[in-house]
Amino acid sequence: MADDAQFYRARAEQERANAQAARLDNVRERCDRAAATWEAMAVRAEQTQVRRAAREAATAEARVATLQD
**pTM score, two decimals?**
0.81
Whether residue 1 has pLDDT greater than 60 = no
29: domain range? 2-68
Indicate the SS3 state at residue 24.
Answer: coil
Q: Which residues contact 12 (CB under 8 A, 6 or more apart)?
A: 34, 35, 36, 38, 39, 42
pLDDT of residue 31: 98
Mean pLDDT of 26-31: 98
The per-residue pLDDT for 2 is: 58
Summarised one tens digit per residue, pLDDT across range 33-64 is: 999 999 999 999 999 999 999 999 999 888 88
What's the domain count of the chain? 1
Query: For residue 66, what pLDDT is reported?
Result: 85
